[in-house]
């Protein structure tokens, strides 16, 4: 009986791995056009921030940490109140938060539009509603939290452009909402992939995202 159960466990894990890998790579082979609504790079060093949510923040954080011009990425929570901005509460999916990343970047080296293109192409699947891969719940929703009217205009225009071009088989469900709060997550969530590169969840769901970034954006990869 134990041998039979062991075999069933192996089959289950293999099936799960393949399923998760298929979801993780849902956008891996999608070639996205550059945003039509674009702005030139800044002529001098200028620190800007962007806040994106695209499922578990571990993988999204890891992707943007490898983008040239990005100086800092932190995992955190957006869309809810301060008193419930902790992993235990957010994981219940009832606080209104989304697991999000705050990206600080030099706009003379990389543009907001380029970050959006990476976000939609390799960081997550923007057609999945309230889930990413094996993770389900509103805390894993796809969202762009804009901090000014320019970010809002650019994000909405790019989503409309991608939907019109039908680059994805399903409509984009990414929310574009004003950033009213961002709370940095617990210390053990920061740089999670770097500290746990061989953890099965990371290997299956997040390492392929970093690999796809390097493949699709070699000029922006660091």
Three-class DSSP labels, 188-213:
HHCCHHHHCCCCHHHHHHHHHHHHHH
26 pLDDT tier (thresholds 50, 70, 90): very low
Summary mean pLDDT of the chain:
89
Q: Reply yes or no on whether the pLDDT at 14 is more than 50.
A: no
Q: Which residues contact 141 (CB under 8 A, 6 or more apart)?
A: 53, 98, 129, 130, 173, 175
- Burial grade of 174 (CB within 10 A; 0-12, 13-18, 19 or more): buried
Which residue of the set 30, 53, 56, 220 is catalytic? 56
CB 181 within 8 A of CB 82: yes
How far apart (Å, rounded) are the C-alpha atoms in residues 26 and 112? 23
25 pLDDT tier (thresholds 50, 70, 90): very low
pLDDT, tens digit, for every residue of 138-192?
999 999 999 999 999 999 999 999 999 999 999 999 999 999 999 999 999 999 9
Topology of domain 2-216 in CATH is: 3.30.1060
Q: Reply yes or no on whether the pLDDT at 23 is more than 50.
A: no
- Say which range, 30-34, 73-77, 131-135, has the weakest mean pLDDT: 30-34
The pLDDT of residue 177 is 98
How far apart (Å, rounded) are the C-alpha atoms in residues 191 and 141? 21
Task: Name the residue ranges covered by the structural domains of the chain.
Answer: 2-216
Active site residue 56: yes
17 pLDDT tier (thresholds 50, 70, 90): very low
pTM over 0.95: no
């Amino acid at each position: 009986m134990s041998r039979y159960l062991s075999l069933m466990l192996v089959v289950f894990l293999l099936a799960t791995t393949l399923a998760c890998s298929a979801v993780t790579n849902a956008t891996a082979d999608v070639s996205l056009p550059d945003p039509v609504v674009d702005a030139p790079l800044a002529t001098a060093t200028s620190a800007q921030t962007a806040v994106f949510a695209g499922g578990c923040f571990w993988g999204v954080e890891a992707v943007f940490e490898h983008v040239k011009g990005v100086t800092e990425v932190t995992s955190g929570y957006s869309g809810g109140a301060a008193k419930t901005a902790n992993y235990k509460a957010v994981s219940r999916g009832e606080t209104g938060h989304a697991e999000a990343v705050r990206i600080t970047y030099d706009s003379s080296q990389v543009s907001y539009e380029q970050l959006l293109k990476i976000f939609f192409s390799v960081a997550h699947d923007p057609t999945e509603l309230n889930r990413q891969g094996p993770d389900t719940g509103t805390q894993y929703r796809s969202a762009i939290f804009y901090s000014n009217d320019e970010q809002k205009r650019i994000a909405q225009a790019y989503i409309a452009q991608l939907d019109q071009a039908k680059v994805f088989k399903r409509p984009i469900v990414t929310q574009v909402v004003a950033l009213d709060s961002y709370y940095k997550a617990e210390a053990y969530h920061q740089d999670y992939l770097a500290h746990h590169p061989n953890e099965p969840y990371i290997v299956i769901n997040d390492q392929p995202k970093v690999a796809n970034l390097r493949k699709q954006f070699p000029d922006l990869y660091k």
